Amino acid sequence: MPVAQRYALLLIATAVVAVMTVSVAYPAVPDRAFAADDFQWVLNVRDRSLSAVAARAFNVSASSHFYRPLVWLLLWSEWRLFGFDAHAFHMLSLALHTLNAVLAGALAYRLIKAPSPLPPIVGFTGTALFVALHPAPFEAVVWVSAQSELLAALWLLLAAHCWWSAGESNQRSVHRWGWCIAATAVLALALLTKESAIIGLPLFALLEWQAARAAQQRPEWRPLILPLLVTGAYLVVALDVAARNALVRERGYGFGVQVVLNPLRSLGLIAVPLPGVEYGREAWLPLAGACVALAWAGALFVCWRLWKGAASLLIGFLALILTLAPTAPFTSAPDSRYLYLPVMVIALLAGAGASMLVEWIISPGGTRSAGNSVERHILSRSRIPFLRLFVGATAIAIVALISMLAVSETRGREVRFATGTRPGEELRLFTAARCAKADFDRILVVEPPIAAPHVEAIIHLSCGVRTHPMVIGMGDVERELRPNTLVVAFSGGFPRELIRTPSE
């Protein structure tokens, strides 16, 4: 296949992935409002200059949750560009998700080695669509506050491409060290975006092993010193911040049985993305994950016995364990946005499997059957291509059915997420309308279906920092009443004015 034709097919596949992501899987996302933590992030960057935000973001001693300075800069830039236009924020999320799907597909294209150019193209398409359409990590796409997942994944994918380019270079070449330096620099960006990027270093080691196998050489481990130094420096900073993290102090992380159950639960969420299980509370999910892990171990054993593909499957298995590891210490079920990287690893393996199937289908059909009968030979030659075409058609039908189910579930989860977070936007619209007509000293919100920090951020965004918000119970309303106070209660998910006291 000519190079121009090959790249034309890749461009067509990229366009298909983009259309499937934006117009099919997530068509309603651009019209959604902000949700939950989004209001707090916007409030944190709204009134600060770039220098103030940068100083706050990179100040280790000022960080008491996680050290994610690039997320601060990203959201500050979005606020300056888009203001309260949530549509633009969501479009950026969709653009990042689409780009990540394409980069994952491109990595599969580079990793797949086949005598024909068609299997790598199929691997590219299969991997990209798997990432784009799988419902498990939907929160990373539909929640603006989860853009850290998307951006960190982007940096890790770019770093993986750089490291693979280094592996394809001559081990003593200057270009190899140039690619290693580039990969290390991009890894540093990933670490400054999301703490889960700590897995970048061992992923580099796996890529080095795979590249050395493809080149039939010994792995060259010396370049790993560069990302090792960067990762070590980041760990010093991250551990300092973790010592002040409220979740750590309140035992939100631990090393109990969840270290095993959480990765299995996450694997179950990916393998069985049924309606209503997106938050991982079902007791059977770890069992489903264990079944998948056992099936994988069985496949690895079979490949090892056949001396074919065992090393590649083992590398994929280790990469999946690495991407699942960040969820292990959580004392509660991991949120779906943490499944973004594991889905990418499984997508790469699915793309490789699809390419192997295509290679088997298009390879020369049949072998001579036993005996000297011409009729038997002709029959064998005619049946095997038909069998391969039948298998290929069946596989296409199954993939199409699964894709339709995945799209349906992705859209359903997005709708359920939007419904659950809608009260926050309704409160923002309600308080903004009331504060445009009056300057309240206090706004009391009675038993809202929203977390108290989110309520406070919404009221400060709508009414200014001078207005004092409070979340109270119905029995505390009378005691907390003051002059110039607005009391808000929720009914059916919508806020309504309960009491308004005059100013003195």
* Of the candidates 49, 19, 42, 154, the residue with the CA atom closest to the CA atom of residue 89: 42
Whether 310 and 426 map to the same domain: the answer is no
Beta bridge partners of 446: 472, 489
Give the domain extent around 484.
419-500
Whether 35 and 147 map to the same domain: the answer is yes
Cβ neighbors of 138 (< 8 A, separation 6 or more) are 278, 336, 410, 413, 414, 417
Kindly state whether residue 399 falls inside one of the protein's structural domains: no
**The pair of three-digit structure tokens given for residue 185, joined into one six-digit string:** 């620099």
Kindly state whether residue 405 falls inside one of the protein's structural domains: no
Cβ neighbors of 350 (< 8 A, separation 6 or more) are 126, 127, 130
Angstrom distances, CA of residue 317 to CA of 229, 293, 344: 26, 9, 12
Kindly state whether residue 170 falls inside one of the protein's structural domains: yes
Question: Which residue, 328, 345, 363, sits at the end of a domain?
Answer: 363
How large a percentage of the chain has pLDDT more than 90? 48
**The pair of three-digit structure tokens given for residue 12, joined into one six-digit string:** 């067509």
Whether 135 and 207 map to the same domain: the answer is yes
* Of the candidates 17, 6, 9, 42, the residue with the CA atom closest to the CA atom of residue 461: 42
Whether 198 and 337 map to the same domain: the answer is yes
Long-range contacts of 293-297 (CB under 8 A, 24+ apart): 293/264, 293/267
CATH number, domain with residue 461: 3.40.1010
Question: Which residue, 343, 363, 383, sits at the end of a domain?
Answer: 363
State the average pLDDT over residues 239-250: 75
**The pair of three-digit structure tokens given for residue 273, joined into one six-digit string:** 């993305």
State the average pLDDT over residues 204-214: 88
**The pair of three-digit structure tokens given for residue 482, joined into one six-digit string:** 């003051």
The type of residue at 469 is P
**The pair of three-digit structure tokens given for residue 165, joined into one six-digit string:** 């380019």
Coil, helix or strand at residue 279? coil
Predicted TM-score (pTM) of this structure: 0.90
Question: Which residue, 326, 344, 363, sits at the end of a domain?
Answer: 363
Per-residue pLDDT, 206: 93
Whether 55 and 191 map to the same domain: the answer is yes
Per-residue pLDDT, 349: 92
- DSSP states of 304-360: HHHTSSHHHHHHHHHHHHHHHGGGTTBSSPPPGGGGHHHHHHHHHHHHHHHHHHHHH
| φ/ψ bin of 203: left (φ > 0), alpha (ψ from -120 to 50), beta (otherwise) | alpha
Between 308 and 236, the higher pLDDT residue: 236
Lowest model confidence (mean pLDDT) among 21-30, 96-105, 166-175, 471-480: 166-175
Cβ(122)–Cβ(149) below 8 Å? no
Whether 273 and 179 map to the same domain: the answer is yes
List, in sequence order, every beta strand (DSSP E) within 345-484: 442-446, 468-472
Whether 431 and 300 map to the same domain: the answer is no
What's the residue count for the chain? 504
* Of the candidates 63, 86, 61, the residue with the CA atom closest to the CA atom of residue 75: 86
Mean confidence (pLDDT) of the chain: 87
Position 398 pLDDT exceeds 60: yes
Kindly state whether residue 145 falls inside one of the protein's structural domains: yes
Strands 485-491 and 494-500: antiparallel
Q: How confident is the model at residue 99 (pLDDT cuts 50, 70, 90)?
A: very high
Q: Classify each residue of 342-378 as buried b or exposed e, where b means 16 or more C-beta atoms within 10 Å of its C-beta.
A: bbbbbbbbbbbebbbbbbebbeebbeebeeeeeeebe
Lowest model confidence (mean pLDDT) among 198-212, 311-325, 366-380, 448-462: 366-380
Lowest model confidence (mean pLDDT) among 66-70, 123-127, 242-246, 396-400: 242-246
Alpha carbons within 13 angstroms on the beta-carbon side of residue 2 total 3
Position 391 pLDDT exceeds 50: yes
Kindly state whether residue 393 falls inside one of the protein's structural domains: no
Per-residue pLDDT, 359: 86
Whether 339 and 447 map to the same domain: the answer is no
Rounded to 5 degrees, what angle do the CA atoms 130, 134, 137 make?
Answer: 125
Q: In 112-137, which ranges are continuous DSSP H helix?
A: 118-133
What is the dihedral angle through the alpha carbons of 358, 364, 365, 370, rounded to the nearest 10 degrees?
A: -140
Cβ neighbors of 262 (< 8 A, separation 6 or more) are 324, 327, 328, 329, 330, 333, 334
Kindly state whether residue 400 falls inside one of the protein's structural domains: no
Whether 337 and 434 map to the same domain: the answer is no
Position 118 pLDDT exceeds 90: no
Q: Over the stretch 465-487, which tens digit does the pLDDT of each residue have?
A: 889 999 999 988 888 888 999 99
Position 366 pLDDT exceeds 70: no
Whether 431 and 282 map to the same domain: the answer is no
Kindly state whether residue 382 falls inside one of the protein's structural domains: no
Position 382 pLDDT exceeds 50: no
Whether 429 and 287 map to the same domain: the answer is no
Query: What is the C-alpha to C-alpha distance for residues 480 and 498, in angstroms, rounded to an integer?
Result: 13
**The pair of three-digit structure tokens given for residue 292, joined into one six-digit string:** 């998948």
Beta bridge partners of 169: none
Angstrom distances, CA of residue 351 to CA of 95, 128, 203, 281: 22, 8, 18, 30
- What backbone phi and psi angles, to 5 degrees, belong to 485? -120, 140
Cβ neighbors of 398 (< 8 A, separation 6 or more) are none
Position 229 pLDDT exceeds 90: yes
Position 5 pLDDT exceeds 50: yes
Kindly state whether residue 373 falls inside one of the protein's structural domains: no
Whether 353 and 439 map to the same domain: the answer is no
Q: What's the domain count of the chain?
A: 2
